[in-house]
Amino acid sequence: MREILGRRRRLRFRRKRKPAHPDAALLCATEWHWPVLPGAGLKAAGGRGDRERGCACPDPECVVPGAHPFDPGLLAATTDARMVRWWWSNRPDAPIMLATGGRAPCAVSLPAVAGARALAALDAMGMRLGPVVATPTRWSLLVAPYTLEQLGELLYAKDHVPSSLRFHGEGGYLVLPPSDTGMGQVRWERAPLAGSASPWLPGVEAVVDALVEASVSAPGGGVSPPESGDGSRLRY
C-alpha cells in the first residue's frame, strides 16, 4: 500500500508542476532586459488534450505555425514584469517571442546541418560564442544588436550570401526556449551561462564569415530535407 500511495504522490506532483514558460519569459524580460511577448501558439485538438501542429492564428496556411506574434502584435513586446506575468498567467504555455534589434539581441539563423558545421568551425577557431537557439530545422546564433546599415555594409563586402542564411534584426523576432511550435520543440543548443547579468553576445561581423562558409560548403547548402523544394515554407 505504501508503494501505491507513494506513486500517487509522485503523479500528483507531476500534474501540479509549474509550467516553464512563464518563468523563462520573466527571466528574459526582468533579468536580461530582453523585450518579449507571447507567440500565437498551436491549436488544441478537440477534446483530447494534445495538439495539432496547426497555428492558432486565423491563417490556415501559416508558414511558421505557433512561432510568430499575433495578438498582441510585435510592437507590444516589453520588459515590464507585470505585463509579462499577465500574458503568461492567461496562456501559460504560450511560445516566448523575442523582439530583436534596438537594444535587444539580434540573431543570425541558418539550417540545422549548416549550423552544426558553423559551430564546429567557430569552436575550432577558439571564438567565443553567445547563446544558440535550436529547432529541429534551424539554429540561430544570438549576436549583439546591429543596425540595418551595419548589416548592409557587412554583406555588401561578400561575394555571395546564401539565401538560407537569415538575419533577425530591428523589427524582427525570434522564438526562444522552451517554446513548442509546429516545427517542434525549441531548445538551447548553447544555453546562456547562469548568473544575474544579461548573456554576453558576440558582434555579427565576428561570426558571419563562418556562417556563410558553413552554408556554402554544407551538402545542399546546409538545407535540411524538409526545406528542399520550392522554399515556400519558412523554417524558424
DSSP characters over 17-68: PPPHHHHHHHIIIIIS---EEE---EEEPTTTS-EEEEESSS-TT-SSTT-S
Residue 139 to residue 108: CA distance in whole angstroms: 8
Q: What is the pLDDT of residue 46?
A: 55
Average pLDDT for runs of 10 along the chain of length 236: 47 54 96 96 66 81 93 96 97 96 95 91 90 95 94 87 89 96 93 84 89 68 38 32
Q: What is the pLDDT of residue 88?
A: 97
CA atoms within 13 A of residue 107's CA, in its CB half-sphere: 26
Residue 236 to residue 231: CA distance in whole angstroms: 13
Q: What is the pLDDT of residue 194?
A: 79
Closest by Cα among 28, 56, 62, 36 to 44: 56
Q: What is the pLDDT of residue 210?
A: 81
Longest dimension (CA), the chain: 72
Residue 67 to residue 172: CA distance in whole angstroms: 12
Q: What is the pLDDT of residue 218?
A: 52
* pTM higher than 0.75: yes
For residue 72 the three cell numbers come to 498582441
Q: What is the pLDDT of residue 13?
A: 41
For residue 187 the three cell numbers come to 531548445
